[in-house]
A and B are shown apart, each in its own frame.
Chain A
Amino acid sequence: MKKILKWIGLAVLVIAAGGLMAFLYYIPPFFTTTPEEFSATMKSAAPPASDIADPLQRAMAERGREIVVRTGCIGCHAVNGPNGPDYTKYLGGGGIRIHSPTGTFVSRNLTPDPETGLTQRSDDEVKRVLRSGVFPDGHVVPSSAMPWANFSNWTEEDRHAVVVYLRHLKPVRHKIPDPIIRPEPLEPGVIERDYAFKDYGLPEK
């Protein structure tokens, strides 16, 4: 009787360990999700622009949406939840913290939230970041952290369309810590280190 209990106990332990390992192996489900499902998520995650009444604004915002989606802004500017990115807070930021030799940068909140987003930034200020990586306080974000040097190749009209679309997003209240601008030595050979698993925004009080 004792022997049987011992065997059952052992079997339960083996199954539990196996289950844990299988869980760890398949979660997050990067390889069990089909590419088509990833694709569909990316297409539907971005809020549509088709509900804009003004036809010119709508045309520009739709073009802007196309650019924002294909460029993958959401890859860094997502709001990370416990189960991965929360796409209902599209482009609410805080999804990545980048350690670069010139400082530490957290992805910004791109939604039109009056306090924590881009509402108080003029179009010219937003475009200057997208063209030159220069923020209103004069600091320059590395072109490897935020690919503004690549975005500088956008035509001015595409850049404008992107800004029109960002202005149309659902506001997400999500405060992002300011960048820390100071030399940050990384190990020899390392040019950048990113953390992208948690929410790097500031918690609400």
Chain B
Amino acid sequence: MNTFNASKVRALALAFAVFGILACIAFAPRLLAQRSAAASAPDSRGKQVYDAHCVECHGPEGKGDGPAAHLMTPRPRDFTRGRYKIRSTESGSVPSDEDLLRTVRQGLYASSMPGWQKLLPDDDIRAVVEYVKSFSTRFAAEPPVAIPASATVPSSPQSILRGSAVYEKLQCGKCHGTDGHGTGAAVTSFEDDWAQPLNAADLSEPWTFRGGATSDEIYLRFRSGMSGTPMPSFKDSANDGEMHDLANYVVSLARKPLWDMTAEEAAAFYARQDAEAKANPVKRGQYLVDTLGCTLCHSAVDEHKRLIPGLRLAGGLRIHVAPYGEFTTGNLTSDKETGLGNWTDDEIKRVITKGTLRDGTRLLPFPMDWASFSTMKEDDLNAIVAYLRTVPPVRNKIPGPSWTFLPVHLWGKFNVLILGGDPPLTFYGGNAGSAAEGK
């Protein structure tokens, strides 16, 4: 094949190359433009603010399932439902823009929702509210229905007296107690419409009222109801005047907060608190478990640190502690086989206070901080046990500690103690226990 000699091949190759380059030059701007449109369409300001400040609780998709969500009561709002508790709109209506702006600016008092007005410019707050609304189709479909203005009733002994009769008539005491503090209440812990835990408000502590503690703000809670919770709207069972009287009565139930007390009052307050803890060990135990951070490690989470549904307190979080070994957090539910169901009270207290497992194995003093937990009073330890007994059983068999092979362990120590190395603690997503994920 002499016709295809070397110079011809070279010429052909050159022609192809030139054609290729020309084609690239011709199409590149269009290709690049497409690429940048797909990859770096700038996020809206609202999304930027949301991603920077809101996802830890409300989750990236607004479902109220961020990493922090399962650790707190009440849980953060799921924006995709478009249902909100703190509103100035009629029962069943979406909140007004002003309602949402107020919540973001001022926060929901005594909850994890902080007031952002000192932290973010108002334009950012407006942008993030628009973005939050976009998670639900309700806002586009239904305009908010404002509650018509009603004549407020100024507080007076007569109004408060009338309000106390309304309190009886509407049976507020069933959840809030005869004194607003839960005394004599049938039940004070609930689940909302999405099976998330929720406590009845303590009406003697106005600084914990999420939507504010003025008479007018309290009136709005009666009138609009708290969507998704057992707190209904009383629009059909009481008139506006009665609801204003009731609000005045609730304001009158306020007690002094600790920080305004005299020393004698504070002593009496703490004595009462301790007596209540003793009388209700399960509630006290839950308070300790929720606040000590037990739920943080003893619940398996996914690779985004979000609770794997159903595994609260069921253990399964894998932690590698160099150079010691690998440890999986225990199943604290009452399951007899894989949880604490068959442990005696003393065995549970021994692991909490001495870091010593049932078979006598000792744990490291971290990450399970049994040395700190050991400073608790016996009553508190008993309360924790009492609460853990009530945690519904979840079958999740946890592998025992896996200690590092001795020579590797000694080398690791040599690295730390002699060479000044710095070995990490590593936490893994996923459930290391036997339960299938998501069950």
Residues of A within 8 A of B372 (CB): 42, 69-72, 74-75
**Structural contact, B68 and A143, CB atoms closer than 8 A:** yes
Q: Indicate the size class of the contact surface on chain A.
A: 35 or more
Closest to B69 in A: A149
**Structural contact, B112 and A70, CB atoms closer than 8 A:** no
Contacts A132-B113, A156-B257 known; list 6 others, CB within 8 Å: A36-B354, A148-B68, A149-B72, A156-B207, A160-B259, A195-B423
When each residue 105-142 of chain A gets 1 if its CB lies under 8 Å from chain B and 0 otherwise, what string results? 00000000000000000000000100111101111101
When each residue 182-205 of chain A gets 1 if its CB lies under 8 Å from chain B and 0 otherwise, what string results? 000000111111111110000000
Q: Spot the interface stretch: B97-105, B165-173, B210-218, B411-419.
A: B411-419
A157 within 8 Å of B (CB atoms) = yes
**Structural contact, A197 and B413, CB atoms closer than 8 A:** no
**Structural contact, A56 and B67, CB atoms closer than 8 A:** no
Q: Spot the interface stretch: B40-48, B186-194, B295-303.
A: B295-303
**Structural contact, B410 and A38, CB atoms closer than 8 A:** no
A9 within 8 Å of B (CB atoms) = no
Min C-beta distance of A203 to chain B, whole Å: 15
User: CB within 8 Å of A: which of B33-89?
Assistant: 52-53, 56-57, 67-69, 71-73
**Structural contact, B72 and A153, CB atoms closer than 8 A:** yes
Q: B-contacting residues of A (Cβ < 8 Å)?
A: 20-21, 23-25, 27, 30-31, 35-36, 38-39, 41-43, 54-56, 58-60, 63, 66, 69-72, 74-75, 128, 131-134, 136-140, 142-144, 147-154, 156-158, 160-161, 188-198
Min C-beta distance of A185 to chain B, whole Å: 12
B353 within 8 Å of A (CB atoms) = yes
Closest to B260 in A: A56
**Structural contact, B266 and A150, CB atoms closer than 8 A:** no
Q: If A56-B261, A56-B263, A160-B258 touch, does A138 touch B53 (CB 8 Å cutoff)?
A: yes
User: CB within 8 Å of A: which of B402-424?
Assistant: 410, 413-414, 416-417, 422-424
Residues of B within 8 A of A24 (CB): 410, 413-414, 417
The list of the 3 closest CB pairs from A to B, nearest first, reads: A72-B372, A55-B263, A143-B68
**Structural contact, B371 and A42, CB atoms closer than 8 A:** yes
Min C-beta distance of B404 to chain A, whole Å: 12
Residues of B within 8 A of A140 (CB): 52-53, 56
**Structural contact, B424 and A30, CB atoms closer than 8 A:** no
B225 within 8 Å of A (CB atoms) = no
B345 within 8 Å of A (CB atoms) = no
Residues of A within 8 A of B267 (CB): 59
Q: If A43-B375, A147-B296, A152-B111 touch, does A27 touch B413 (CB 8 Å cutoff)?
A: yes
**Structural contact, A157 and B72, CB atoms closer than 8 A:** no
A-B contact pairs, 29 of them (CB 8 A): A24-B417, A39-B353, A56-B261, A59-B263, A60-B258, A60-B266, A71-B291, A71-B372, A133-B68, A137-B119, A138-B119, A142-B305, A143-B68, A143-B71, A144-B427, A147-B71, A149-B68, A152-B112, A153-B71, A153-B290, A154-B291, A156-B257, A189-B428, A191-B301, A191-B303, A191-B304, A193-B424, A193-B425, A198-B422
User: CB within 8 Å of A: which of B256-288?
Assistant: 257-259, 261-263, 266-267, 269-270, 287
Q: Spot the interface stretch: B139-147, B326-334, B361-369.
A: B361-369
**Structural contact, A39 and B71, CB atoms closer than 8 A:** no
Residues of A within 8 A of B57 (CB): 149
Residues of A within 8 A of B430 (CB): 189
- Give bound CA distance, A71 to B370, whole Å: 10
- Give bound CA distance, A197 to B366, whole Å: 12
**Structural contact, B56 and A133, CB atoms closer than 8 A:** yes
Min C-beta distance of B421 to chain A, whole Å: 8
Q: If A31-B362, A35-B355, A196-B366 touch, does A69 touch B375 (CB 8 Å cutoff)?
A: yes
B31 within 8 Å of A (CB atoms) = no
- Give bound CA distance, A148 to B287, whole Å: 14
- Of B113, B364, B370, B413, most buried by chain A (CB within 10 Å of CB) is B413
**Structural contact, B293 and A131, CB atoms closer than 8 A:** no
Q: If A42-B375, A189-B303 touch, does A197 touch B429 (CB 8 Å cutoff)?
A: no
- Give bound CA distance, A192 to B303, whole Å: 10
- Give bound CA distance, A74 to B423, whole Å: 20
**Structural contact, A190 and B428, CB atoms closer than 8 A:** yes
**Structural contact, B417 and A193, CB atoms closer than 8 A:** no
